[in-house]
Amino acid sequence: MIEALLKTSKKRKLNIMANQIHKRFSNTQIKSLIESYQKKEIELSYILSILGIGRSRFFEILKSYRQNPAAFSIDYKREAINRKISNQVEDDILAELFVEKCLIEDKSNPIKYYNYSYIRDLLMDKYGHKISLPTIIDRAKRHGFYDKAKKPKAHDREVLTNYIGELLQHDSSHHKWSPYASGKWYLITTIDDFSRKILCGDLLESETSWAHIESAENTTLEYGIAYSWYVDSHSIFRLVQGRDSFWRKHVKVTDDASPQFKQVLSELGIKIIYALSAQAKGKIERPYRWLQDRIVRTCAREGIKEISDARVVLAAELKRYNSYQGHSTTGEIPDERFYRALHEKRSLFRQFEIPKPFVSTKDIFALRADRMVNAYRKISINNLELAVSGVPIRAYTALRIVPDKKSGLAEVRFWYDDRLVGVQKVRNKDLNIPNF
């Protein structure tokens, strides 16, 4: 009997996590193994391999056998548990499922399916009901609030990393985040590939190079300089000849020119990697879908119209995603995975320091332009003339421009020969900031 068990042990290991020991072996088989062990006919390591259990579990079984060999059994019966829920809880579940149905049937919403995990979290946050997911699904099936889930599309590329900061995935998503909003908003997000922690996220009414630079600044100042960033081929991140210009310039083809965002990362010594397809960005697309689904549902239920209120919803969902939600791929909470890697020194983040000769973060996280000083010691930008001192006539001065949305003013910093030679304030609209 023991030889037969040894022959089948490898096959049994394949299902070891799925099947319990009493389902894989009979009482007679277990007794035979125990008796052989007590007679020293078989080593403990072989028994553990056959049964697929650890030492502590085996000695628990051995103790039970020695207490009463005649009545020994590994079979057991589950005690019946009263899983009945109150009428009030039942009503609350059905009420929230009905709201879900209304949102799905409203064609103006991007919501196309039921999200029972969201309902479970909502019942806990809103009513204090701790209800299991199977219970909610059961009620949904009983009362017609159920659609068979569609099989997700597989992504064609996956990036594997071993350290936090090794690769940050950065992108934006343009959707109508609330059915009551007057238009669509942009969600800009940066996620650490190893931990799946979302390092930075914000909702914006428009997408500009400056918005992405601000996001990179927030991420870098809080966590450090990452080894590489993963972006798509949007014109904000990459110039692609034939797409970005009508008249082809043979002196500048793909990647010969540097968009504003690329210049910032390059100056920090960050490697830029471009995704070859939307499917290649699978790891960041999935968090976007998760956030989009929950943000839209919450905004719809709360009647949110303003982006400021939607940002509050976003902050709550980012907190849930990072600090409480186990990731489907890693099986870990992103925050815990991130900070454990940091504690274990498994990080490729470099401490941020202002590179010489610059004197402020404004010289790094800024829009860039070069202008020639004319005979009147002025430069022209967007038909606006600015006086410059400390720069020879016909020489070029490097501009570092930092817009401020609140004041409506941009700080223009003039650099020449590795020296800051002047600072001026100019209205954002006079510089036509979106065109940078």
Q: What is the pLDDT of residue 93?
A: 92
Name the residue type at position 427.
R
Task: Provide the pLDDT for residue 279.
Answer: 52
Q: How many CB atoms lie within 10 A of CB 361?
A: 14
- Given a cut of 60, whether residue 165 has pLDDT beyond it is yes
* Residue 433 in this model has a pLDDT that exceeds 80: no
Residue 409 pairs with which residues in a beta bridge? 427
Both tokens assigned to 102 = 């209304």
Rounded to a whole number, what is the distance in angstroms from the first to the last CA of the chain? Answer: 78
Helix axes 307-323 and 282-302, enclosed angle (nearest 10): 130
| pLDDT at residue 349, rounded to an integer | 96
Q: Give the model confidence (pLDDT) of 240-268 as tens digits.
A: 555 444 434 433 434 445 889 999 999 99
Of 275, 278, 314, 287, nearest to 197 by C-alpha is: 287
The values of phi and psi at residue 334, to 5°, are -50, -45
Distance CA 132, CA 122 (A): 12
Q: Which residues contact 246 (CB under 8 A, 6 or more apart)?
A: none
Report residue 17's pLDDT band, with 50, 70 and 90 as the boundaries.
very low
Structure tokens given for 163: 């350290």
Q: For the segment 63-75, what is each residue's pLDDT rounded down to a tens digit? A: 888 888 888 888 7
Tokens for 46?
């072989």
Task: Name which of 418, 122, 181 is nearest 305 in CA terms.
Answer: 181
- Whether the CA torsion 376, 381, 383, 386 is positive or negative: it is negative
Higher pLDDT, 76 or 310: 310
Look at 109 and 337; give whichever has higher pLDDT: 337
Task: Return d(Cα 105, Cα 111) in angstroms, integer.
Answer: 9
Residue corresponding to tokens 């941009």: 410
Q: Does position 11 have pLDDT exceeding 70, yes or no?
A: no
pLDDT value of residue 436: 60
User: In this predicted structure, what is the pLDDT of residue 83?
Assistant: 61
Query: Residue 289: pLDDT above 60?
Result: yes
Check residue 281 and report its DSSP letter: G
Name the DSSP class of 155.
P
CA distances from 5 to 11, 40, 95, 306, 389 (A): 10, 17, 54, 67, 89
Does the domain at 168-343 match CATH 3.30.420.10? Answer given as yes
pLDDT at 176 over 80: yes
Q: What is the pLDDT of residue 190?
A: 94
| DSSP line for 310-329 | HHHHHHHHHHHHHHTPPPTT
Report domain extents, the chain: 2-67, 87-142, 168-343, 361-435
Residue/partner pairs of 313-318 with CB below 8 Å, 24 or more apart: 314/187, 314/201, 314/202, 314/203, 317/291, 318/198, 318/201, 318/291
Does 191 score more than 80 pLDDT?
yes
Mean pLDDT of 331-360: 93
Greater confidence (211 vs 282) lies with 211
Q: Can you give the length of the chain in residues?
A: 436
Cα–Cα distance measured from residue 139 to residue 101, given in angstroms and rounded to the nearest whole number: 14
Dist. CA 65–CA 129, nearest whole Å = 43
Query: Can you give the pLDDT at residue 417?
Result: 94
Residue 156: per-residue pLDDT:
41
Helices and strands, counts by H and E, the chain: 14, 11
Give CA–CA dist 364/367, Å, rounded. Answer: 9
CB atoms within 10 A of CB 412: 24
pLDDT in tens, 152-162: 554 444 547 89
Residue 60 has a pLDDT of: 86
pLDDT-derived band at 239, boundaries 50, 70, 90: low
The overall average pLDDT reported for the chain is: 83
Confidence of residue 35 (pLDDT cuts 50, 70, 90): confident
Using a 10 angstrom Cβ sphere, with 0-12 exposed, 13-18 middle and 19 or more buried, the burial of residue 49 is middle
Mean pLDDT of 267-276: 87
